Chain A
């Protein structure tokens, strides 16, 4: 079986288990909604939604994402199934990509469903901006998940577990968050795509660098 088939099978196993419990998806989705609701109370009711949505959106997504990443590896520790996976004759990079892809899918799905609800809450019609917005969300989520998967595999082996992941992850993904917020802001202001190209480049650079670095270093993290 080829490289990508094995990657896919690891993702498949996560999707199958997730389909039965909906544990990762529902916790991310509900949490994102809660953040937006709370955020609304923190804001001046008359505030311009176009100014506040980018920030609110990405706060909700990043915090929800951390929750999902934590679950993904805590589930692997049940029955120490992850060790069973490590005993298989597959390259550690394949395992990384499989887990990464699963988390990427779950987080993107939660974002996709949360987005229309945010639109309603903020009284904005974003449907015509969906392609651009989708691209930014995908690139940012990929960057976030690429490092997040690696760090999550570490943080489950620390005493502080759930706390350790955001402590490590948030400073490192600062470029992604800045890029995502800024690009979202430009898109909402109906600016042409050319205005966000430099942000897109930054996001792509981050994605490439950290996908490769995490792919290469994953084996050191999962060694016993």
Chain B
């Protein structure tokens, strides 16, 4: 589903990503840990076509990112610490707008179903401005799954959430995951990352220094493993 070969990205002189290789099968959930400035957000931005790579090949759902950027965008959903919502539109209007941009058929029914799923149906005609941070985050999940993407990228989705909202997000992620979506998530919270993933990676200074399936990892002691690799690479 996701295939990355020799991906590099430089900003002027600064090398943000130095040769990433990765292959994900359909339905796999990969969590990437890494310190600040390791290149996690850059990686997600490149995968979601917002940024162009300096070199390397990326294929998502069999489509080359360079050639079929627009078709790739139809296949992906992104949740980030920014919600991508217009505060002066209602939840319904936000989803209607995005739905139109994705050429979705049968829009009103789809919107209602998705809003039901994230538990915001009773408030769908309220302005997003009046929503709490947790509710906005839930709505941003609704926005990301509205077009039923095959691949999802989550960039630090837990940032700024209170405990309750984080719990809800985790439950939602689990339901999202069971629908056979391929997911890549970045985070620096170790406990939240390990709960849902099949694969775990560590990104340090633009390199994927560690990549193992969850079965091979001592989850109790992963903190130590993490710091070991971060220090090694530093």
Interface presence of B21 (CB below 8 A): no
> Please, how many angstroms separate the alpha-carbon atoms of A81 and B45 in the complex?
15
In the complex where A84-B85, A88-B101, A89-B101 touch, is A16 in contact with B78 (Cβ < 8 A)? no
Since A20-B88, A88-B102 are in contact, a sample of 13 more A-B pairs with Cβ atoms closer than 8 Å, ordered by chain A residue number, is A13-B89, A13-B93, A16-B88, A20-B127, A79-B82, A79-B85, A79-B86, A80-B84, A81-B85, A83-B82, A84-B98, A84-B143, A90-B70
Instruction: Decide if B108 is an interface residue (CB 8 Å cutoff).
Output: no
CA distance A20 to B87 in the complex (A): 11
Q: Closest residue to A77 on the B side, CB-wise?
A: B82
The answer to whether A16 and B80 have CB atoms under 8 Å apart is: no
Q: Can you name 30 A-B pairs with beta carbons within 8 Å?
A: A1-B103, A5-B100, A6-B100, A9-B101, A13-B86, A13-B89, A16-B88, A16-B93, A21-B88, A75-B88, A79-B84, A79-B86, A79-B136, A80-B80, A80-B83, A80-B84, A81-B84, A81-B86, A83-B80, A83-B84, A84-B84, A84-B98, A84-B143, A85-B84, A87-B50, A87-B78, A88-B98, A89-B73, A224-B45, A224-B50
Whether the Cβ atoms of A87 and B84 lie closer than 8 Å is yes
- Our count of residue pairs bridging A and B at CB distance below 8 angstroms stands at 77
Interface size band for B? 20 to 34
List of A residues within 8 angstroms of B5 by Cβ: none
* Residues of A in contact, count (CB < 8 Å): 26
Given contacts A1-B100, A9-B101, contact A89 B86 (CB under 8 A): no
The dominant DSSP class at the A interface is helix
Tell me if A9 and B102 are in contact (CB < 8 A). no
